[in-house]
């Protein structure tokens, strides 16, 4: 059951690791990522990305949705999505 580092690309289908919860903090009025003795508050752009991790969409589809929603160039958006998700994969916050 040896696991390996996930490398995120356009075809990756990212989802949260089993120990991670991404949820709305209603009292604090924000979205938070929770793990064991971990909590971080993603910025607004990251929230839009993380809300689209459903275990079905690949990175290309997520980037296309965001590019359309924010009227931004697809290539730039896709690079930003990959950078964010790779960082989170390296912290085992997401898997793919």
**Residues 32, 40: contact at Cβ < 8 Å?**
yes
Q: Closest approach of Cβ 42 to another protein, in Å?
A: 14
Candidates 16-24, 47-55, 56-64, 66-74: pick the segment binding another protein (CB under 8 A). Answer: 16-24
Those residues whose C-beta lies under 8 Å from the C-beta of residue 89, and which sit 6 or more positions away, are 5, 6, 7, 8, 14, 95, 96
Question: What is the total count of residues that contact another protein (CB under 8 A)?
Answer: 25
Q: Are 85 and 7 in contact (CB under 8 A)?
A: no
Does 84 participate in binding another protein (rule CB under 8 A)?
no
To the nearest 10°, the Cα dihedral for 79, 85, 88, 89? -110
CB of 88 to another protein, least distance (A): 10
**In the stretch 34-73, what mask flags binding to another protein with x, by CB under 8 A?**
xxxx-x----------------------------------
């Amino acid at each position: 059951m040896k696991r390996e580092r996930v490398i995120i690309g356009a075809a990756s289908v990212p989802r949260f690791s089993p120990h991670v919860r991404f949820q709305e903090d209603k009292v604090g009025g924000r979205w938070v990522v929770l793990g064991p003795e971990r909590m971080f508050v993603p910025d607004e752009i990251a929230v839009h990305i993380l809300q689209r991790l459903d275990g079905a969409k690949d990175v290309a589809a997520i980037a296309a949705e965001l590019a359309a929603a924010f009227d931004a160039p697809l290539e730039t958006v896709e690079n930003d999505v990959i950078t964010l998700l790779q960082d989170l994969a390296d912290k085992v916050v997401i898997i793919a």
